[in-house]
Chain A
Amino acid sequence: MGGPCELRFFHHSEKSVRKVFDACRNEVLRFEKKYSRYLEDSVLSKINQHSNATKVDSETTAILNYAQTAYQISDGLFDISSGVLRTIWDFKSKLIPEQKVVNNCLKRIGWNKINWNDGEISVPKDMELDFGGIVKEYAADAVKNIALNSGITNGLINLGGDIVAIGSELTEETKLSSSISLKESNGSAFADSDYSANQGWPIGIRHPDNSDKACCRINLLHGAVATSGDYEKFFIQNGRRYCHIFNPKTGYPVSNAASVTVIAPLCIVAGTLSTLGMLLPVKDAIAFLKQSEVTFILTYREEDKLKIVRD
């Protein structure tokens, strides 16, 4: 899933929680196998390999319909066919591609060029789809559902920064000896009893320019939080920052907010809104997020200082 994953569940029975934990891990692996760009036999690869019509299952249909909704409400800014821009922007060599190369690449982008007919898709030969920004967030929502349906009332799911909370982090007093939590970090599971009292789950939002520092903190009770930032992969050339989030209309990395964090009922929605918050100019992004009636934290740089807008 790219990035460390962590599951923390409180439950009265250790046996039950291990069962839930295994079911959640299997679900994450199922998504990885089904929608990875890197696996040749994944559903996504099959869609990308065939230029003629490919029939897809109901889950993939729902994902593609969701992507279409995101495309429509953003006037084409959220576009799952924009991943090809990765091939012309080389973050290692820090080279800015020639405008001609960018223009050629733009011809290979556009959800409107893809023939999507509820259940059947044909992607033109030189185009490809990428579910980054959708599937990891969807997986976090799916894992939450498994946990909820398994009787977990307090837990936290963190799939590489996409976070979903169930209830509250339990305190020492409420936890008692019969409650345990399972934590997985890079594949190892262990019971962890080192928790402090709190209502909801305390979550630190990363400072865009200092990975060890939080720029602010939130308390998450029943909901999801997703963050997009320009700090994950970037290079600076002639004083301008080129990050890994691309505007599908210009073909260039965005240069708006430094990071956008959105709290929403579902992680997939929080993820889409935070990505769109990065794609829009700061002023428009704030208006857009307000219109969405979500809690958000938007940071931007002004004269080398980080400004924080919280609503």
Chain B
Amino acid sequence: MKKINPKNCLMASALMLPAVASGNGAPVDSEFSYRYSSYVEDDIADDVELTGGVKSRYEIDVHQMRLLTLIGDDNSLEVNWLGESLSGASPVATERTANGVGLIMSGASISEKRQDTSVRFTHYGELFNWALEGGVSKENDYESSYVAGDLGFSFNAKNTSLNIGFSTADDDLSPSDAEVFNRVLSAEKETSSYSLSLSQILSPNNIILFGTSFTESEGFLTDPYKTGDSRPTTKEQSAYSVQLRSFFDAADAALHFNYRYYSDDWKMQSDTIDIEWHQNIGTDMQLVPAIRYYSQGETFFYEPYEPDDQPEFYSSDFRLSPYGALSLKLAFIQRFSSWSYTISYENYDSDADYSFNNVALESPGLVDFTRLTIGFDTKW
């Protein structure tokens, strides 16, 4: 029999001491953050048969700001703002060709602006935390608003926390040039989401989190800018995730491992694996290489191109097609007194060959992109 490790026995017992378990987690400083991202999709690849429209795809400039202020010792108010401008072209449809499938892109004239604003109030109690949140998102052809709330509490000497959440959203859609292109004039969508998560401190350096969420949507779920697109008017989605955080003293680094399984009643399933290594360099720098692997199956009504028999539901949207994606990211964070600066670069590559499944015909609309983000955070 293996001899017991006395330190481990004592640690397990000591972690039950209430003052050793963490506090209510209320922030102690006001914070402001700014991020700018340049998101650039690759042009349509040369091996894709382009039967209409332009080769270039979206470029999106995103500005994000976050302000967190304290209200007394146990409350915080957080305001998030996002403004983005989008330009370029997107896939409109696919069609059967002599060689397989061709892609029809839009013209390069798309130019959109979007603004999101949300406000979140959080109360940090001794055992309970709760938060209320609401927000609006506006585009020239889209308006969405949501309210959400969540409640978290800790027990087992604060080693275990349970969090439940609820949100509901209303979306109104009024596609541009609807009459010219015979698009729906206006439409609505309602979404409700429920979530439950449990986190457990395993040891001072290890924490595990299990999460599950359920979302139901009802209304117009079709993409009005895609030709021939017709989707069911309801959708039920569920997701299950496990997250592990481990800190390694010897390396002065933390490993973040996330796995997520998703499925919906459109018969789509997906798996996501995310691995990040947060390496401290001295006391003021951090380098974070990360890799994400993603694989999804197709929805029951996805077809690479429109079938002749005109089914009730049909879409050739690449986002509903079977594919996999590999994303590599490197982030660098430098702290400097009460300021910290961050720069990160991500390369995302999607391909039917990355999928868990055997894909007979790859969607020609699959996207690859790069994203460069710079920003800063400050506290006072």
Contacts and interface: CB of A to CB of B under 8 A. Distances in A.
Given A146-B23, A178-B338, A272 B10 contact: yes
Given A149-B28, A268-B10, A294-B7, 13 more contacts: A13-B380, A19-B28, A69-B10, A69-B12, A139-B19, A142-B20, A167-B283, A178-B337, A223-B249, A266-B14, A266-B15, A273-B6, A273-B10
A291 B6 contact: yes
B198 to A, nearest CB: 21
Interface string A189-227: 000000000010000000000000000000001110000
A264 interface: yes
A69 B284 CA distance: 39
A250 B284 CA distance: 52
A269 B7 contact: yes
A150 interface: yes
B204 A266 contact: yes
A139 B338 CA distance: 28
B5 interface: yes
B7 A293 contact: yes
A62 B157 contact: yes
Nearest to A167: B283
Interface in B13-51: 13-29
A65 interface: yes
B205 interface: yes
Contacts of B5: 291-293
A69 B338 contact: no
Contact of A62 (B18, B25, B26): B18
Contact of A266 (B11, B28, B380): B11
B9 interface: yes
A74 to B, nearest CB: 8
Given A269-B7, A292-B7, A59 B19 contact: yes
Contact of B28 (A73, A74, A145, A150): A150
Nearest to B283: A168
Interface string A258-294: 0000001110110011001000000000001001111
Nearest to A266: B14
B3 A291 contact: yes
| Contact residues of B: prevailing secondary structure | loop
A273 B194 CA distance: 47
B7 A264 contact: yes
Interface residues of B, number: 38
Contacts of B338: 12-13, 178
Interface of B: 3-7, 9-29, 157, 204-205, 249, 252, 282-284, 337-338, 379-380
Nearest to A175: B337
Contacts of B19: 27, 59, 138-139, 141-142, 145
Nearest to A268: B14
Contacts of A178: 337-338
A154 B283 contact: yes
Contact of A73 (B6, B20, B379): B6
A276 B10 CA distance: 12
Counting chain A CB atoms within 10 Å of each CB, the highest count among B4, B249, B283, B380 belongs to B283
B283 A70 contact: no
Contacts of A70: 10, 13
Given A168-B283, A170-B283, A265-B205, A176 B7 contact: no
Contacts of A221: 252
Nearest to A137: B14
A80 to B, nearest CB: 13
A141 B17 contact: yes
Given A141-B17, A154-B283, A66 B10 contact: yes
A151 B377 CA distance: 14
A137 to B, nearest CB: 9
